[in-house]
Amino acid sequence: MTDDRFHVYDTTLRDGAQQEGLNLTVADKLAITRHLDGLGVGFIEGGWPGANPKDTEFFRRARTELDLKHAQLAAFGATRRAGVKAADDPLVAALRESGAPVVTLVAKSHDRHVELALRTTLQENLAMIRDTVSHLRAEGQRVFLDAEHFFDGYKSNPAYALEVLRTAAEAGASVIALCDTNGGMLPDELADVVHEAVGTGARVGIHCHDDTGCAVANTLAAVKAGATHVQGCANGYGERSGNANLFTVVANLQLKRGFDLVPREALADMTRIAHAITEVTNVTPNSHAPYVGVSAFAHKAGLHASAIKVDPNLYQHIDPAMVGNDMRMLVSDMAGRASVELKGRELGYELTPETSRELVERVKELESRGYTFEAADASFELLLRDTVAGERRRHFSVESWRVIVERTRGGELISEATVKLHAKGERIVATGEGNGPVNALDKAVRAGLERLYPELAEVELIDFKVRILEGAHGTDAITRVLITSSDATGEWATVGVDENIIEASWQALEQAVTYGLLQAGHHAD
Ligand SMILES: [Zn+2]
């Protein structure tokens, strides 16, 4: 870390890990720490050593397994228990022995919480803070203090809340982070309280929860009021509605307020880092997340598309490349020729006016039958290629397919598929068995083609979505199938539509394989 004037403090591994359904192993925590260090945050709170064996283990392994470039680790823990010396409290000892250069102590600053939850006197709470902070300082650690329930405490007893802050600062805490623990604050009232706190002369930080949907706004308001230390969690993880999203906070402060918080190259890698962390947490990424969501810079309306083609900056608040994201055009029935041309250009095709007009007609006609290209980029690209070529080009053609589903005497369901294909001048008959008809068809196609195209072994079907669309004007309902496939180079989605679910699946599957072969560099005849 180069600059101590403003702190970016991550608490994903401690407060973020409180999110329902989120379970992190020590290895996961080490991986997330590396990602956050890659972003260039100043401090990473690793957990509560002594209170949680996994966290003790994290700090032990961090010493030998991590080589941090930017961040310092912080160990989280409480002030000493009432009535004992900090030097004699085993939980304080665990903080000392964690090896972390920073200790963040949580302390009560709300009078009612001191009396009801801690069951001690207001004076003893101040003594606990004074004793613990000065003890750890004397032992050579830097100390930050999280003033829990600070804003609610200030409402209940402002003099006492500010006394907690002064006591911690005088004992040697270098930052006192004011916590909106219940997350109920709004930006204007929060800013007033932060302003009062800054008036004590202590260095003030901010820790917000998103229960009012204002965690990021509250954090920015606190900074405006004089806070110089911001806490948050990767992807806004946290219990209830989550914590302030650290990525949004950093991007806002750096790109909108001119703060120099993380290296510019690291900020330009933020989208990748945000997604890499979701791979570790196994939490589905929020596609609408500000700055880093897949949809954060996606445009749909045809009306906008023609202007975007002239100047993309007219319709985006920043250049998405600054945070490592892309502008993406969605092809939809709202779109006209301009968005189709733009999408074509994004895929590397310059379309003639005639070709784009023809393509728009085909997209509109297919969308009226239930296809969607917004979520099926690969199907759109195949349609575009076919339109440009003036014919349908495929690596293989299909003579027929058949699937049977059998319920065995043991009650097991088995699907068996046979496909008859033509490829490279050969007629191929292949079979496949699977746990469902689509799985069986997928296996049969691969069995038939893998000898000619070994790269197919890399292609995996990773998601399969089915949606029943209401039939129009008394016709039967139709089924839309979206298939997502992947190989080492990336992911792609294809779409099929039919009254029959297996035919719809087959269409999406056939395109998925075709697109995979194109990705592997095979030209279609
Ligand atoms: Zn919290």
Q: What separation in Å is there between the alpha carbon of 223 and the centre of ligand 1?
A: 18
Strands 426-434 and 413-423: antiparallel
Q: What separation in Å is there between the alpha carbon of 232 and the centre of ligand 1?
A: 9
Strands 426-434 and 460-469: unpaired
Q: Which residues contact 197 (CB under 8 A, 6 or more apart)?
A: 150, 162, 165, 176, 178, 204
Count of residues for the chain? 525
Contact 22, 283 (CB under 8 A): yes
Q: What separation in Å is there between the alpha carbon of 254 and the centre of ligand 1?
A: 23
Tell me what pLDDT residue 372 has.
82
Q: What separation in Å is there between the alpha carbon of 181 and the centre of ligand 1?
A: 5
The mean pLDDT of 25-45, rounded to a whole number, is 96
Cα angle 257, 260, 262; round to 5: 120
Contact 434, 415 (CB under 8 A): yes
Q: What separation in Å is there between the alpha carbon of 423 and the centre of ligand 1?
A: 60
Q: What separation in Å is there between the alpha carbon of 235 and the centre of ligand 1?
A: 15
Tell me what pLDDT residue 356 has.
87
Q: For residues 193 and 155, what is the distance between their CA atoms, to the nearest angstrom?
A: 9
Q: What separation in Å is there between the alpha carbon of 243 and the centre of ligand 1?
A: 7
Tell me what pLDDT residue 186 has.
98
- Check whether 40 has a pLDDT greater than 80: yes
Which two three-digit tokens encode residue 81?
Answer: 């228990």
Instruction: Choose the weakest-confidence range: 95-99, 118-122, 339-343, 404-408.
Output: 339-343
The mean pLDDT of 283-298, rounded to a whole number, is 89
Q: What separation in Å is there between the alpha carbon of 91 and the centre of ligand 1?
A: 20
Of all helices (H) and strands (E), which one includes residue 372?
none
Q: For residues 13 and 27, what is the distance between their CA atoms, to the nearest angstrom?
A: 12
Instruction: Choose the weakest-confidence range: 12-21, 173-182, 194-203, 464-473.
Output: 464-473
The mean pLDDT of 86-90, rounded to a whole number, is 95
Cα angle 108, 114, 119; round to 5: 135
Tell me what pLDDT residue 474 has.
57
Q: What separation in Å is there between the alpha carbon of 295 and the centre of ligand 1?
A: 28
* Average pLDDT, rounded, for the chain: 92
Which two three-digit tokens encode residue 353?
Answer: 């006016």
Instruction: Choose the weakest-confidence range: 49-58, 310-319, 443-452.
Output: 310-319
- Check whether 340 has a pLDDT greater than 90: no
The mean pLDDT of 98-109, rounded to a whole number, is 97
Q: What separation in Å is there between the alpha carbon of 352 and the centre of ligand 1?
A: 56
Which two three-digit tokens encode residue 477?
Answer: 């309902």
Q: For residues 63 and 74, what is the distance between their CA atoms, to the nearest angstrom?
A: 12
The mean pLDDT of 199-209, rounded to a whole number, is 97
Q: What separation in Å is there between the alpha carbon of 78 and the centre of ligand 1?
A: 13
Q: What separation in Å is there between the alpha carbon of 371 and the centre of ligand 1?
A: 45
Q: Specify the 3-state DSSP secondary structure of 369.
A: coil
Q: What separation in Å is there between the alpha carbon of 339 and the centre of ligand 1?
A: 44
Q: What separation in Å is there between the alpha carbon of 257 and the centre of ligand 1?
A: 25
Q: What separation in Å is there between the alpha carbon of 209 and the centre of ligand 1?
A: 6
Contact 371, 391 (CB under 8 A): no
Q: What separation in Å is there between the alpha carbon of 212 and the centre of ligand 1?
A: 14
Highest mean pLDDT (candidates 200-214, 295-309, 472-486): 200-214
- Check whether 1 has a pLDDT greater than 70: no
Q: What separation in Å is there between the alpha carbon of 310 and the centre of ligand 1?
A: 45
Q: What separation in Å is there between the alpha carbon of 246 and the centre of ligand 1?
A: 13
Tell me what pLDDT residue 339 has.
74
- Check whether 177 has a pLDDT greater than 50: yes
- At residue 426, what are phi and psi to the nearest 5 degrees? -110, 150
Tokens 């949680």 — which residue? 52
Residue with more model confidence, 462 or 158: 158
Of all helices (H) and strands (E), which one includes residue 413?
strand 413-423
Of all helices (H) and strands (E), which one includes residue 62?
helix 53-65
Tell me what pLDDT residue 520 has.
86
Q: Look up the pTM and report it.
A: 0.74
Residue with more model confidence, 509 or 21: 509
Q: Report pLDDT digits (tens) over 126-172.
A: 999 999 999 999 999 999 999 999 999 999 999 999 999 999 999 99
Contact 42, 70 (CB under 8 A): yes
Q: What separation in Å is there between the alpha carbon of 158 and the centre of ligand 1?
A: 21
Q: What separation in Å is there between the alpha carbon of 42 and the centre of ligand 1?
A: 18
Which two three-digit tokens encode residue 436?
Answer: 């469902």
Of all helices (H) and strands (E), which one includes residue 393?
none
Residue type for 452, please? L
Q: What separation in Å is there between the alpha carbon of 244 and the centre of ligand 1?
A: 9
The three state secondary structure string of 107-131 is EECCHHHHHHHHCCCHHHHHHHHHH
Distances (CA, A) of 161 to 156, 290, 373: 9, 34, 56
Contact 519, 489 (CB under 8 A): yes
Residue 346, judged by CB atoms within 10 A of its CB (0-12, 13-18, 19+), counts as: middle
Tell me what pLDDT residue 185 has.
98
Q: For residues 383 and 392, what is the distance between their CA atoms, to the nearest angstrom?
A: 8
How many CB atoms within 10 Å of residue 431? Answer: 14
Q: What separation in Å is there between the alpha carbon of 208 and the centre of ligand 1?
A: 7
Which two three-digit tokens encode residue 515?
Answer: 């697109």
Q: For residues 160 and 428, what is the distance between their CA atoms, to the nearest angstrom?
A: 82
Q: For residues 211 and 183, what is the distance between their CA atoms, to the nearest angstrom?
A: 5
Q: What separation in Å is there between the alpha carbon of 73 and the centre of ligand 1?
A: 18
Instruction: Choose the weakest-confidence range: 46-50, 216-220, 472-476.
Output: 472-476
Tell me what pLDDT residue 332 has.
63
Tell me what pLDDT residue 285 has.
83
Q: What separation in Å is there between the alpha carbon of 210 and the centre of ligand 1?
A: 10
Tell me what pLDDT residue 68 has.
96
List, in sequence order, the alpha helices (H) in 298-420: 302-310, 337-346, 353-368, 377-389
Contact 5, 261 (CB under 8 A): no
Q: How confident is the model at residue 334 (pLDDT cuts 50, 70, 90)?
A: low
Q: For residues 320 and 276, what is the distance between their CA atoms, to the nearest angstrom?
A: 18
The mean pLDDT of 277-281, rounded to a whole number, is 87
Tell me what pLDDT residue 525 has.
62
Q: What separation in Å is there between the alpha carbon of 122 and the centre of ligand 1?
A: 22
Q: What separation in Å is there between the alpha carbon of 141 and the centre of ligand 1?
A: 22
Which two three-digit tokens encode residue 298?
Answer: 């996606």
Which two three-digit tokens encode residue 75?
Answer: 């160990």
